[in-house]
Amino acid sequence: MSDEAAPQMTASAKNGAGAGGVVAVVGLGKIGLPLAIQYIQHGRRVIGCDINLAVVEGINRGECHVHEEVGMEAEVARAVADGLLRATTDTTAAVREADVVVVIVPVVVRGQGEVAFEGIDAATRAVGKGLHTGALVIYETTLPVGTTSGRFRAMLERESNLVAGRDFLLGYSPERVSSGVIFRDLRIYPKVVGGVDAASTAAAVAFYRAVLDAEVIEMRSADDAEFVKLIETTYRDVNIALANEYARFADAHGLDMTAAAAAANTQPYSHIHQPGVGVGGHCIPVYPYFLMRGAAEGGLTLPRRARIVNDAMAEYAVDRIEAVIGPVAGQSVLILGVAYRGDVKETAFTSAALLRDALAARGAEVYADDPLFTDDELRAHGYTPITPERSGAVRALIVQAAHSAYQRLDLGAYPACRVVLDGRRALARATVEAAGMAYVAMGDGRLAAERTRTTTEDTEVTEVHGGGKSGAVETAPTATARSNPVE
């Protein structure tokens, strides 16, 4: 392509930002489909691309598989009926028709933080095969720094025989939305944008200013834009880990972490988060690994430590329960909520799995409840659903997800329960204690008192039975302090 043709290519890409332009959205999941509707609402036509044939066929019938966003079903049906939205499994063909291509295909981690690129690599190759001169490609998937300008640029150029910045434009803009409130987040959170060169950045900025009502922040490069998402997410993970460490300190010293943090946060430079039983979701427990992937050996020690601290809170939660009821071996414990977040039907990296495994490792009978999941779905995720027959034997409840349904929880259904560990501070202490159960929250400062009370109760029961061992739960020996996996 000649230098004289380059300005024409840039102008062509900018036309995709104008009303009537065609946008290909690659990945029609919980973020991709709402993005498609967002673009349609701002005058674009959208071709949605997905490898899931059922999703594609459903959308083409005007059906919506994303139910978390208010009004989505009606918007999808209207867009399809008006000829503004159609879906396909042929990404390459869709890209040939598009002025702008937005890729929002998940990247996950496996095992010890290994980044799995297979899905998005396949999508990138499909995009590259259909790429044409003047097109603008933007990745919104959270990525390790340098992925857009390195890995994906090379793939796109190889598949298309075109050159980024000369023949087509390439940018990056991380999604910054939460499931259930995506349209709100698109309105209020600034859009961070960077390209592989100045022309790509300008084209991507122009596109987002045309399809969003929020502020657009222009970064120096695609790498810088990738870095933004990783550090904002890792900051939250590290802050939560710090709060969890504070909570453990408070528990050991009879202090109220929540009250202390609230007071500390009245100072404008203090932003202490709330402690809990762990960190779940697609983002916070995952993206620190993307950042660490690019670190030198021994670098970024604080994010690495934060991951260990937060994942260890499940074990600590079991410690807190055992401080009240003694060893959980042979006792029934019910986890309330397997979703990673309240009122969201999603289990990505949920702390419920860590709690289940920690309890099972100590011999507990572990059950699960979640109003968003059927019993069959719970079993498919590796949980044993609670039954009315087993509810009467439950000795401890753990609130893992703050579902609104749990505000109406019938504690009377668990007559043998002695303790409720409120891992998300979703319940009222007074309500739990009125039901005759101990209320435990991370950082409530009551650990020492609970252990003392349990020791006293065990001693009294032993004396009544003449030192012999009884089959009653109350005769179980006091839980000994376990080595702290965080320290």
Predicted confidence (pLDDT) per residue in 210-262, tens digit? 999 999 999 999 999 999 999 999 999 999 999 999 999 999 999 999 999 99
C-beta neighbour count of 22 within 10 angstroms: 17
- Residues 125, 151: Cα–Cα separation, whole Å: 11
Catalytic residue list contains 229 = yes
Confidence (pLDDT) at 456: 61
- Residues 60, 295: Cα–Cα separation, whole Å: 44
Q: Which of the residues 191, 283, 345, 417 is marked catalytic?
A: 283
Cβ-contact 321, 366 below 8 angstroms:
no
Catalytic residue list contains 417 = no
- Please return the burial class of 287, using the count of CB atoms within 10 Å of its CB with bins 0-12, 13-18 and 19+: buried
Dihedral, 235, 240, 243, 249 alpha carbons, nearest 10: -120
For the chain, what is the mean pLDDT? 90
- What CATH code is assigned to 315-475? 3.40.50.720
Dihedral, 391, 393, 397, 401 alpha carbons, nearest 10: -30
Mean pLDDT of 299-326: 96
Domain range annotation of the chain: 11-220, 229-311, 315-475
Q: Which of the residues 14, 191, 229, 345 is marked catalytic?
A: 229
Q: Which CATH number fits domain 11-220: 2.120.10.30, 3.40.50.720, 3.40.720.10, 3.30.160.100?
A: 3.40.50.720
Q: Which CATH architecture has domain 229-311?
A: Orthogonal Bundle (1.10)
Residue type, 419: V
C-beta neighbour count of 460 within 10 angstroms: 11
Residue 12 scores a pLDDT above 60 = no
Cβ-contact 139, 176 below 8 angstroms:
no
- Residues 90, 103: Cα–Cα separation, whole Å: 14
Kind and range of the H or E run holding 309: helix 301-311
Cβ-contact 60, 66 below 8 angstroms:
no
Residue 20 scores a pLDDT above 70 = no
- Residue pLDDT, tens place only, 345-358: 999 999 999 999 99
pTM of the model: 0.86
C-beta neighbour count of 118 within 10 angstroms: 9
Dihedral sign, Cα of residue 462, residue 467, residue 470, residue 476: positive
Confidence (pLDDT) at 3: 40
Establish whether domains 229-311 and 315-475 are of one fold.
no
Residue 467 scores a pLDDT above 90 = no
- Residue pLDDT, tens place only, 409-434: 999 999 999 999 999 999 999 999 99
Record the tokens describing residue 439, joined without a space.
Answer: 């209320």
Name the pairing type of β-strands 100-103 and 85-88.
Answer: unpaired
Place of tokens 């209020």: 188
Cβ-contact 99, 21 below 8 angstroms:
yes
End-to-end Cα distance, the chain? 60
Strand, coil or helix: 148: helix
473: DSSP letter: G
